[in-house]
Every structure is written in structure tokens, then in C-alpha cells.
Amino acid sequence: QVQLVESGGGLVQPGGSLRLSCAASGATFGDYGMSWYRQAPGKERELVASITSAGSTSYADSVKGRFTISRDNAKNTVLLQMNRLKPEDTALYLCNAVYSVSMLKYTYWGLGTQVTVSS
């Protein structure tokens, strides 16, 4: 079983920055693909950024060039550095971990941390 706990959210002005952290426990962290999703009330959950076990990254077009995902396997942590934030970035940000073996896929979610971008 994997437990994920997010932190680092808060209120920030447009153009500002935040760094989100996701701390993982209960698994071999380096074997999991990690992602950040976001979700606002009444909207579908959106994939923001992902990083594979090998360190390859991908981003949604809406955040490319502004957000950076990274991982520190020694600390069992994945980070999301968010720069030049916009009001449309406001959402609950959730950490996700995935492990695939054979025909099975295991997925885990944190409870999320709130990011609000407003003047």
C-alpha cells in the first residue's frame, strides 16, 4: 500500500510562484511513475505534469514553460515548481502514483492541496 501526502499549496497573486511537494511512503518509490493532476469544482480532473521512473517528463500545454516536475528518490518526494501563476491555475492539486506489472495497473492518490491564484 502507498500513501501520498501533498503540501505547499496556498494563496498567491497572479505572476507569483509556489512549490508543491508530494511525500510517498509504503513502496519502492523509484519504481513508480508520478504525476500531478488538478481539479476545480464541477470540472474534470486534468493531468498537469508527469515524470517516469527513468526521469522523463511531460506537461499539459497550458502549463508548459511555467511548471517543472522533479523527483528525489532518496527522499521519496516529487515536486511541482509553479511559476508565473495565472488565475486559471486555481484548483485542488493531487499527487498520483502508478505502477504497472503484467496486465495490471496499480494507482494511488493523495487528498490534494489547494492552490488559489487571485489578487
Distances (CA, A) of 12 to 9, 41, 73, 83: 9, 19, 29, 11
Residue with cell 510562484: 17
Q: In this predicted structure, what is the pLDDT of residue 73?
A: 83
Q: In this predicted structure, what is the pLDDT of residue 74?
A: 86
Contacts of 54 (CB under 8 A, 6+ apart): none
The per-residue pLDDT for range 79-88, each reduced to its tens digit, is: 999 999 999 9
Confidence at 28, pLDDT banded by 50, 70, 90? confident
Share of the chain above pLDDT 70, in %: 99
Residue 5: is its pLDDT beyond 80?
Answer: yes
Find out whether 77 and 24 touch, Cβ atoms under 8 Å: yes
Residue 1: is its pLDDT beyond 80?
Answer: no
